[in-house]
Amino acid sequence: MTPRAWALCTAALLTAALPTGCSGGRDKLLADLESPRPEERALALKKLAEQKNPDDLVLFTGKTHDPVALVRAEAIAALGTSNDPRVVDLLGDLLSDDDDKVQAAAAKALAQIGNDKARSYLMLQYGRRGRGTRQAIVAALTSTNVPGAMAKVVAAEAKTIWERNLQTLQNGTPPERVGAAEELGKSGRPEAVNRLVPLLKDGQVMLAAAAVRGLGNAGDRRAVPAISEVLTESYPQLREAACEALMQLKDAAALPRLLEVANERSPASPLAVAAIVSLPQSPETDKALCDVTLLATAAEAQVAGREMRRRGGCPIEPVLEKLKMQSTQGAALQAITVLGPSAAAALPKVTPLLTSADAALRKAAIDAVIELDDKSVAPQVLKAYEAEVKSLESQRSDWVTALLPEKYGAGFDPSAPVDPNDPAAGQKLKQADLFKRVQLLNEARARDTNRTLLVQKPPRELVDDASEDQLKVLASLVRALGTLQVENARALVEPYAQESSPGLRAAAFVALARLGPEALKAAKVGLVDSDRAVQAATAEAFAAAGEPGQAMLLETLSQLTGDRSRLLEPLRELTLAKPAVPALLQLVKEGDAEAGTAALMLGRIKAPEAVEPLLKALADPTTVARREVLIALGKLGDVKARDAVGRDLYSERPDVRAAAAEALEALGPGTYSDALLALKVDYYRKVREAAMLTLGQKPEPAP
C-alpha cells in the first residue's frame, strides 16, 4: 500500500469509514492490537468496538489486562458498548483496578449494561474506592435512573461501616476492638453511645480508653457523667482519654472533677486544664481557671492564666494574699506572670523581690516584671542586672582570654588532602569523599531553592563554670533590659547574642526584638540559630513585634531548609498583613508539612490572589493539606472555587468531606445540593453536621 493510500485509510479509521481501496482494514485493526504503541492499541479497540462484532468480545476481554491504563480503559469502554451481561463480573473486578481512570471507565461500562447485577457492583464498590471513582459510580447509577443515587450509596457505605465495626468490636482481636470502639463513636449514633458506655468498666484498659475517646467523638452529652467517673481511675491512659473526651463534649457538669485533676499535678493535669478552657465561659469556669493559675504547676498555670488574661484577668486579692507569705510567694509570682498587665496592681509588691536572696524567687519576680511591662521599674531592673553580673563574675571569667580558633589545626582538618603515606589513607579518603559529597549536595539543594542552611558555630569557651541553671536569672534580666527598654539596653544586650549558652542567646535575641527596627535586624540571626529552642524563642519575639517582625520572620522562613515549624508556629493564630501573602503562597506551593498552616493563614487574610494557587494545590492528588486548603478556599469566598471544592464531597476521607461541606457553606451549594443531601446520611457525625449547616438546616442537638 502506498503512503498516500495508508494516510487515507488512517483518516478513514478515525471516522469509522472504510472507503474502497482500503483493503484489509479490519486486518489492520487486529494487527494494531499488538502494536508496541499504546495509542495505536487504544485506537484499534475503539474502532473495533464501533463495528459491534460479537466475536470481538474475547479480544476486548484480553486487553483488559494490558499493562497500559489507556488501553485497559478503552477495552472496558468496548465491553460496555457490547451490552453483553456476561461481562458484568469482569467489569465489577475492574472497579478495583490500580488506575482511577480505569475504575471510572468500568463504572461507566457497568452503567451502560444497566442490569441489577451491574448496579449491585456499583453500590458495593462505592465505599472502597477513591474520590474520582466514587463520583463516576454516582454518575453511572444516576444514568441508569436510580433515584437518589448518591444517597443510596452513602447509606449503603454507612451501613457497611457500622456493621463491620460492630462485628469487630464483638469478635476482633484486642487491637482491632480498640479501633472499632473509636470508629463507632465517630458515627455519633445514639446506639453507639449505648454500646460504648458499658465498655468504660472493661478490664482491658486500652479498650476502655478507646471507648472513652469514642464517646467524645460521638458528641452525646449523655455520656458526660460516666466519663467524669473515669477521672477517678488510677490508670493514666483512661484519665487522659477522659479529659480529651470532655474537651470535645464541652459540658460544664464535668467542671468539679476536671478542676481536681487540673490541680493534682499529674500527667493528666494539662489535658484537664485544656478541657476547662474549652468549656463555655461562665463565672464558675472563670473561677476554676483562676484557681488553676494559683495552684497548678507552671505549665498548667500558664495555659489557664493566658486564657484569663484574654478574659480580663482574675481577682488580685487572693494573689496578693499569697504574695505576703514566703511559702506561697513563688505561686503568687507565677500567677502574676501569666496574668500579665491584668495583674498590674501587684507591681509594688513584686519590685522588692527583685533583690531576693533566693535565686528562684528572684527569677520569678523578674519574669513577673517583664510580663507586667511597666517601664517605671527600669532603674530597679538595671540595678538587679548589675548585681547579678557581679555575682557571676568569677564563674564567667574566661579561662582563655584570647579568641578560640575557628579553623582546624594542621593535620586535624577532615577536609584537608590525605597524606598518601598514611597507613589509613584509603579509609580516610573514603570518609572525606563521602562527607564532601553530602556537603556539596546540601549546599546545591539550598542554592537551587534559595534556602539558608543552619550553621553550627564553634564554641567560645571549652569550659564554662556557670551552668545553664545558674545563668537563668541573668537570662531573665537580659530579657527584662529589652522589654522595659532600660537606658543603653542594646549595648548591654547585644554581646549576649554571641554567648555559648543557649539560654543567654535566646534572651538576647528576645530583648533585641523589643528595641526597635534596627535592633530587630540584629536579632534576625537568632532565627537561624543552630539551637532549636533559641530559634523558637526568637520566632515568638518576632511574631509579637508586629508587622516588621512578622515580615522578617516570614522572609527567613521562606529561605530556610529542613524543619521550619518553629518559625511558623508563632504565626499560626495571627491574621497577618497582605505583604505576607507571597511567602505563605510559597509554603503552599512547596507542599511540605507547613503547607496546611500557611493555607489557613491565607484564608484569614482573605487574599484574593491566593485562590488560584490554592486551587492548583487542590488539583494535585498528592496534596497533604487538602482539608486545610478546602477550609481556606471557603474563607476566601470566591465562587469560582465551588466546583473544585464540591468534588471533594465524594472524597473517601471523612475529614475532607466535612471540610468540603463546610467550605460550601460560604461558597454556596450550587449544583452540589443533591450531594450535600446525600451526606446527611453519612456514617460520620461531623460530615452529616457540616452538610446540614451548608443546606441551612440546624443539626440535631446532642441529647
pLDDT tens column, 105-135: 999 999 989 888 999 999 888 988 899 899 9
Q: Distance between alpha carbon 459 and the CA centroid of its chain, in Å?
A: 36
Same fold, 33-146 and 576-703: yes
Helix axes 283-295, 329-339, angle to 10 degrees: 130
The tally of CA atoms less than 13 A away on the side-chain side of residue 167 is 6
In single-letter form, the type of residue at position 155 comes to A
Looking at domain 576-703, its CATH architecture is: Alpha Horseshoe (1.25)
SS3 content of the chain, % helix, strand, coil (to 5): 75, 0, 25
pLDDT at 194: 94
Flag whether pLDDT at 3 surpasses 60: no
pLDDT at 459: 53
What's the grid cell of residue 56? Answer: 470481538
Flag whether pLDDT at 19 surpasses 50: no
Q: Which residue has 477495552 as its cell numbers?
A: 75
Higher-pLDDT residue of 456 and 284 is 284
Cα separation, 322 vs 211, whole angstroms: 42
pLDDT at 624: 86
Nearest to 546 by CA among 521, 525, 517: 517
**Average pLDDT for residues 166-187, to the nearest whole number?**
95
b/e code 52-65 from CB counts within 10 Å (16+ = b) = eeeebeebbbebbe
Q: Distance between alpha carbon 240 and the CA centroid of its chain, in Å?
A: 22
Percent of the chain with pLDDT over 90: 65
Flag whether pLDDT at 289 surpasses 70: yes
Q: Distance between alpha carbon 415 and the CA centroid of its chain, in Å?
A: 40
Lowest-confidence region among 18-22, 325-329, 353-357, 619-623? 18-22
Cα separation, 507 vs 41, whole angstroms: 70
Contact status, residue 512 vs residue 542, Cβ threshold 8 Å: no
> Residue 129 class from Cβ within 10 Å (0-12 exposed, 13-18 middle, 19+ buried)?
buried
Cα separation, 87 vs 94, whole angstroms: 11
Instruction: Delimit the domains of the chain by residue range.
Output: 1-28, 33-146, 161-280, 576-703
**Average pLDDT for residues 341-365, to the nearest whole number?**
93
The superfamily (CATH) of domain 33-146 is Leucine-rich Repeat Variant (1.25.10.10)
CATH 1.25.10.10 fits 161-280, yes or no: yes
Contact status, residue 640 vs residue 610, Cβ threshold 8 Å: no
Contact status, residue 386 vs residue 355, Cβ threshold 8 Å: no
Contact status, residue 49 vs residue 58, Cβ threshold 8 Å: no
In single-letter form, the type of residue at position 694 comes to T
Flag whether pLDDT at 399 surpasses 50: no
Q: Would you list the DSSP string of 384-404?
A: HHHHHHHHTHHHHS-SS-SPP
**Sorting pLDDT into bands at 50, 70 and 90, what band is 23?**
very low
